[in-house]
Structure formats: C-alpha cells, structure tokens
C-alpha cells in the first residue's frame, strides 16, 4: 500500500509539473463525477475548459483532483491530468482538453480525488509545485509559468514617470512587462511620444461626469486617473493561476474634491497550456467596472480609450505588422471592427500578441484604434461606435483573451483559439457519490436513515417532512430529524434551499435551520444573503465563530455545505482534544479546521460518545437534497 501511495504521489507531482501523462488505473479511487466533453464544430488543441459544479458533491473543494480519460482503445490505460476547482457560486472545475480533439468528437473523463489529499483534510498542495503561480513583490505581482519563467507583471505600487516629467504621470494598476515565452519584453511604458502609455491598461478617454469633461487616459490634463486599491485574491494552480485586483477610476477635480466614479476589478489568469517548449502563452483578462458615484459616467464617442496595448519599444513600421480577423492591416485597420487583432514584430526573432474580444463585450465585434504608422499601439474601443453611459450600480464587463506567440500568426491558429474562446467545447458533468459514502438522503425516502424520535408508546414517530421531486422540505411543527446512526469523524455533503420569507420577517426568523453535528455543534442555516459574516448568520458555528467569508446565495437558490468533522477526544470523561470543524460553503472554505471548545446553543453536552446528525426544524420550510456522509 505504501508503495502504491508513493507511486501515486510521484505521478501527481509529474502531472502537476507537466500537465498530462499516462498512469495505470490500478488502485484509482472511485470516481466522484463523470465528465463528457463535446468538441462541437471545431477541432480543439489543448483547450482550457470548465464546468459548473453546482449540485456536484466533491467533498474536498480545495483538494487536488485527478481526471482520467475513459479510453476507448484500452480499458487498462488511461491518460490522466490534474483538475482545478475554482471556488465561487457555483464552484467550477477547470481542466485542459489536452492534445487534439477532432471536430464532432466526444471524450469522457472520470474525476477522482487525489489519494494524497485525503488526510489531513483541507490542506492544498504545495504551492511551489504548481505550474502557474503568483509571486508577490512589494511593488508588483508576477505570474510565473512552471516556476521558471515570467509571463507578466502587474504593477500595484505607483510607478513614477521618467525623470523630469510631471508627477501627474505617476500611475499604478497596469501590466508591464508582458514577456514572450523566450523572455522578450513585448510591452512598453512611458515612451517619449506618449508618456502616459502603460503596457496593458484600461482607462477611458473622452467622458463626462457631473457635466464636466474627464479624461482618465491623458494623465497630463490632471482631470482623472486610475489607481490600484487592493488585491481580492491570488491563485496558484495546475490549470491556471492569477489574481483579482480592485482599482478605482478617480475624477481629480469636482466641486467637492476628488471623487471615485468607477470601481473596477481585474481578473487576470494565465493557463497552463503552451509554455516555453511550444512557444506560446494563453491568458485571459476580465475587467468588471461599476459606477459607484451618484450620477452616471457618460462616454462620448471618440477614437480611442479602453483596453490598450503599447507594443515593444523595438517595434516600428519596418519590423512589425498587424492582422485582424477581417484581413485588415496597419494601413487599413483603424476604425474597423474585428473579433481578433494580431500584432507582431521582430526583436530577437519574430513574436507577437493576438487580442481576442469576447462576443459578449459591448459593441462586439469592437471597433479598434490601430496606429497607421510608427510604433505599435492597439486598442479595442467601443466608444468609437457610439456615445454610451455607465449608470450608477450597473456592472460593465469587458473580456479579452491574449495569445502570446513566437513567429508570425497563422490565421488557422488564430481562428482555432477564437473558437475555443467564443464557442468553447460543451462540457457536462454527472455527480457520482463516493463509493464508501452512506447516502443519507437520495431524494426518495427519509425513513431509512433518519428518525424523528419515539412517541409516548415508544413507537417510532412518523417523519412529518415533505418529500417530493427528490427534495425533502421541513413541515413546520413536525419536529427536527436526526440520523439513526451515530458518527465520530466524518466528511459530509448536504445541499439546502432557503425559502423566500416576507420582508417583515427579520433576523433569526429568515429561513432558519441548521446541521447539528453529533447533536452538539450547530452549523447555522439562515437567509444571510448580502449580510455581513456574523456568529449567528448562515455558515456560522452558531454563536461561536462567523464564517471567514459570507458566500450565502439568495433564498430560492440551492446551496451546499461540505463538512469535515473530527470529534473531541476523551480520556475517560476528561476531554483532551477539542472537536474540529472544516466547512466549505458553496465550495468556499469558511472554517478551516476550527477548534470548537464547547457545544453550541441548544446542543447536547460534550462527551466521549458519538452522536447523530440532526437537521433542525426551526419552523421554516427549508429544503434539503443530496445528503451523504463518509465516516473517516
Ligand atoms: Mg438554526
């Protein structure tokens, strides 16, 4: 067994470093889910894909997962790779559809949890071993490929302008350098012709706010600027790594001084495809912008502004070219629209970047600003087409994919990547509960594993909850239910849905229920959508600890708890070790191996005996489905 574990362990290391290889299926864990990928109308090559995990029970959302292809030619040998879970509502599973998948082809995979990760629970893999990682510096964060080469740098500290230039040019919140796989710098900042150009950046140019013009692009005017605020997350992973950074677009002069008009979040992620040997990177840029002022930011029709790219200092008219998806070039590309635009040039060999605008972007296919002569500047600019407005509270999302490549672009490659981005393969997932799991509620019958206690005559009471359409719903006044079996250590999955309560119902009356572990410790269930994380709100360890983050969904939506529980340890009647609870709420870790020193609220006293799982009836019609438990 030890040998098998070490073989599996080293396979995972290899998989993590190189993405894909073949391993024997012998000894593989039972699958958690079956995944089918349909290529659709287009041939796919090393395509990053994802699928929603809504309703899929993984049990260890931040564990390491392995995907094995169900091969058609050999039943014994599978190709396998690591998959990655993206926390969120719902969580998503990411993997690379590796190799070539012909148009029309269908591939099937089984998802298993890497055995290494089972114990101790809740601990992620070693970050340094992950293919795409974020390295944090005081002034900037960099995304690295395979721990060896840099892909890009995001500058979060203020970068001063060149000496002698106005202080107004200082700026944070942009990408520079963007490197090619062989290490060439493909961006430029502060060029003498346009000091305000900053690698890859996204300010607006011709806008109006409170009746006055504001230019966030041409910093010298002193009307507006964009600033980094904070990082919301960083991710190291086997499939992608990156960061989310919050920025603000600031009007520098209003009647009441500076004012933030736009709050912006950059989501930048680099995929584990291509690399140095294959001579390309693939990464996604997403900017979500919201007007946070009392009045709208008005965008006035103009020839540039938005997602901008200032090309390498060495690129000029002689040694660089443009090509758009519509066959336009440097001379005739400006003001045309395209799905993608490539620009490339020669420094030490030929290298370039293809920019893709997502079909859901405003004004897609977006008009572009392409400099007709001189150095390389490129900009997707929706404002070229029309006046438009960013109204208070509205989100505007701009998505771009960047294909950084060696050599000149092949149209076939550019189009293939376009199809991957715009019309990705169809991925479906079907959950399989773990083999060793006890299905506490499979949608049919509560009475097999649950009890509502005994009546006066010591007869088993009938459970009064409603069971319909695969869902059990609390009938008020019918009492709580608990498992017939007692548990010590376990992992458990449960899905629940809180009913929409009338607005006059407040606080603890809003869809209250709870999962009482061993009938002692309550994980609160409550409508806490949009509330601050509190000790008595949803996902709290009731009145003991609030969740690290409130990720509650609105009433009427299914939510999940994935729980790992280690019971308190006793020597005789004396407690020697506290109980420990790990909880993922909707796939997000909110209690990390938390020591719980005492029973909560109305729970029963602690003691050396195991206990059942109780689902609390607090008089609200909370629904449940897909409940399973694995004793550890
Ligand atoms: Mg409760």
For 319-346, write each residue's pLDDT tens digit.
Answer: 999 999 999 999 999 999 999 999 999 9
Listed in sequence order, the DSSP H helices in 197-326 are: none
- Contacts of 318 by beta carbon, 8 Å cutoff, 6+ apart: none
Q: How far is the CA of 624 from the centre of ligand 1 (A)?
A: 14
Protein residues within 5 Å, CB atom, of ion ligand 1: 512, 514, 524, 616
Q: How far is the CA of 514 from the centre of ligand 1 (A)?
A: 4
Q: How far is the CA of 537 from the centre of ligand 1 (A)?
A: 9
Residue 26 pLDDT > 70: no
Looking at every residue in the chain, the average pLDDT score rounds to 89
pLDDT in tens, 142-190: 999 998 899 999 999 999 999 999 999 999 999 999 999 999 999 999 9
pTM above 0.85, yes or no: no
Map residue 484 onto helix, strand or coil. Answer: coil
Q: How far is the CA of 29 from the centre of ligand 1 (A)?
A: 35
Q: How far is the CA of 532 from the centre of ligand 1 (A)?
A: 17
Amino acid 8: pLDDT:
32
Q: How far is the CA of 526 from the centre of ligand 1 (A)?
A: 7
Q: How far is the CA of 576 from the centre of ligand 1 (A)?
A: 28
Q: Which of 134-143, 437-446, 552-561 has the highest mean pLDDT?
A: 134-143
Half-sphere exposure of 388 (CA within 13 A, CB side): 15
Provide mean pLDDT across the span 74-88: 65
Residue 454 pLDDT > 80: yes
Q: How far is the CA of 277 from the centre of ligand 1 (A)?
A: 55
Residue 591 pLDDT > 50: yes
Q: How far is the CA of 515 from the centre of ligand 1 (A)?
A: 8
Q: How far is the CA of 485 from the centre of ligand 1 (A)?
A: 22
pLDDT band (50, 70, 90) for residue 528: very high
Residue 61 pLDDT > 70: no
pLDDT band (50, 70, 90) for residue 40: very high
Whole-number Å distance between alpha carbons of 330 and 343: 9
Instruction: Provide DSSP, 309-358.
Output: EEB-TT--TTTEEEEETTS--TTT-TT-B-SEEEEEEESSSEEEEEEEE-
Map residue 195 onto helix, strand or coil. Answer: coil
Contact, 285 vs 200, CB < 8 A? yes
Q: Whose CA is closest to 346, among 391, 388, 325, 316?
A: 316
Q: How far is the CA of 436 from the centre of ligand 1 (A)?
A: 29
pLDDT in tens, 340-367: 999 999 998 999 999 999 999 999 999 9
Amino acid 431: pLDDT:
78
pLDDT in tens, 205-248: 999 999 999 999 999 999 999 999 999 999 999 899 999 999 99
Residue 193 pLDDT > 50: yes
Provide mean pLDDT across the span 523-544: 96
Amino acid 17: pLDDT:
30
Q: Which residue's entry shows tokens 């990082």? A: 231
Q: Whose CA is closest to 188, among 306, 308, 310, 305?
A: 310
Q: How far is the CA of 524 from the centre of ligand 1 (A)?
A: 5
Whole-number Å distance between alpha carbons of 15 and 272: 12
Contact, 574 vs 565, CB < 8 A? no
Amino acid 295: pLDDT:
96
pLDDT in tens, 273-321: 999 999 999 999 999 999 999 999 999 999 999 999 999 999 999 999 9
Q: How far is the CA of 139 from the centre of ligand 1 (A)?
A: 45
Residue 4 pLDDT > 50: no
Q: How far is the CA of 544 from the centre of ligand 1 (A)?
A: 13
Q: How distant, in Å, are the alpha carbons of 131, 171, 229 from that of 247?
A: 27, 11, 5
Written as six digits, the tokens of 530 are 């949009």
Q: How far is the CA of 565 from the centre of ligand 1 (A)?
A: 18
Q: Whose CA is closest to 97, among 425, 387, 324?
A: 425
Domains of the chain: 12-118 (2.60.40), 138-426 (2.70.98), 438-631 (2.60.120.560)
Amino acid 401: pLDDT:
98
Q: How far is the CA of 620 from the centre of ligand 1 (A)?
A: 10
Q: How far is the CA of 32 from the centre of ligand 1 (A)?
A: 30
Q: How far is the CA of 474 from the centre of ligand 1 (A)?
A: 13
The full length of the chain comes to 632
Residue 56 pLDDT > 80: no
Q: How far is the CA of 587 from the centre of ligand 1 (A)?
A: 21
Tell me which H or E stretch contains 624. strand 623-631
Q: How far is the CA of 516 from the centre of ligand 1 (A)?
A: 9
Q: How far is the CA of 530 from the centre of ligand 1 (A)?
A: 18
Q: How far is the CA of 525 from the centre of ligand 1 (A)?
A: 5
Residue 338 Rama label (left phi>0; alpha psi -120 to 50; beta): beta
Residue 175 Rama label (left phi>0; alpha psi -120 to 50; beta): beta
pLDDT band (50, 70, 90) for residue 59: low
Q: How far is the CA of 531 from the centre of ligand 1 (A)?
A: 16
- With 0-12 / 13-18 / 19 or more C-beta atoms within 10 angstroms meaning exposed / middle / buried, residue 79 is middle
Q: How far is the CA of 522 from the centre of ligand 1 (A)?
A: 7
């Amino acid at each position: 067994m030890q040998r098998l574990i070490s073989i599996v362990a080293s396979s995972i290391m290899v998989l993590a470093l190189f993405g894909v290889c073949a391993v024997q299926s012998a000894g593989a864990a039972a699958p958690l889910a079956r995944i089918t990928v349909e290529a659709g109308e287009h041939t796919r090559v090393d395509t990053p894909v994802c699928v929603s995990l809504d309703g899929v029970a993984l049990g260890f959302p931040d564990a390491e997962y392995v995907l094995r292809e169900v091969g058609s030619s050999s039943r014994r040998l599978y190709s396998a790779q690591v998959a990655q879970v993206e926390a969120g509502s719902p969580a998503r599973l990411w993997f690379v559809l590796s190799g070539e998948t012909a148009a029309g082809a269908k591939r099937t995979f089984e998802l298993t949890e890497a055995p290494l990760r089972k114990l101790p629970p809740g601990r992620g893999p070693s970050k340094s071993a992950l293919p795409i990682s974020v390295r944090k510096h005081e002034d900037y964060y960099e995304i690295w490929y395979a721990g060896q080469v840099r892909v890009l740098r995001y500058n979060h500290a203020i970068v001063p302008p060149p000496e002698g230039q106005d202080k107004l040019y200082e700026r944070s919140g942009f990408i520079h350098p963007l490197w090619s796989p062989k290490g060439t710098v493909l961006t430029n900042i502060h060029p003498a012709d346009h000091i305000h150009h900053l690698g890859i950046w996204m300010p607006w140019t011709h806008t109006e706010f409170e009746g006055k013009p504001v230019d966030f692009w041409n910093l010298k005017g002193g009307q507006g600027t964009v600033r980094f605020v904070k990082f919301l997350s960083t991710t190291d992973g086997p499939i992608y790594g990156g960061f989310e950074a919050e920025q603000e677009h600031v009007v520098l002069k209003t009647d009441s001084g500076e004012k933030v008009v736009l709050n912006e979040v950059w989501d930048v992620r680099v995929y584990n495809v291509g690399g140095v040997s294959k001579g390309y990177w693939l990464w996604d840029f997403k900017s979500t912008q919201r007007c946070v002022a009392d009045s709208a930011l008005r965008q006035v029709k103009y020839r540039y502004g938005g997602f901008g790219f200032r090309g390498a200092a060495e690129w000029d008219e002689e040694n660089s070219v443009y090509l758009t998806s519509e066959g336009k070039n440097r001379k005739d590309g400006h003001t045309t629209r395209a799905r993608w635009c490539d620009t490339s040039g020669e420094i030490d060999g030929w290298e370039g970047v293809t920019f893709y605008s997502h079909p859901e972007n405003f004004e897609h296919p977006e008009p572009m600003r392409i400099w007709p002569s001189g150095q390389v500047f490129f900009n997707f600019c929706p404002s070229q087409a029309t006046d438009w407005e960013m109204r208070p509270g509205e989100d505007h999302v701009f998505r771009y994919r960047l294909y950084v490549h060696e050599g000149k672009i092949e149209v076939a490659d550019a189009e293939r990547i376009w199809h991957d981005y715009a019309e990705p393969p169809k991925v479906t997932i079907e959950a399989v509960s773990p083999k060793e799991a006890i299905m506490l509620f499979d949608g049919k019958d509560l009475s097999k594993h649950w009890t509502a206690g005994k009546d006066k005559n010591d007869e088993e009471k009938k459970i009064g909850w409603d069971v319909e359409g695969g869902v059990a719903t609390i009938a008020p006044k019918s009492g709580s239910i608990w498992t017939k079996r007692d548990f010590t250590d376990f992992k458990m999955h449960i899905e629940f849905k809180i009913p929409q309560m009338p607005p006059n119902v407040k606080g603890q009356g809003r869809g209250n229920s709870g999962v009482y572990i061993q009938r002692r410790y309550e994980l609160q269930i409550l409508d806490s959508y949009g509330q601050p994380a509190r000790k008595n709100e949803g996902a709290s360890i009731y009145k003991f600890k609030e969740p690290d983050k409130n990720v509650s969904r609105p009433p009427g939506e299914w939510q999940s708890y994935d729980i790992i529980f280690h019971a308190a340890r006793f020597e005789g009647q004396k407690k020697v070790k506290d109980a420990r609870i790990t909880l993922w709420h909707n796939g997000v870790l909110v209690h990390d191996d938390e020591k719980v020193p005492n029973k909560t609220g109305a729970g029963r006293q602690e003691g050396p005996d195991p206990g059942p799982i109780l689902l609390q009836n607090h008089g609200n019609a909370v629904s449940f489905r897909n409940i399973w438990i694995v004793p550890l």
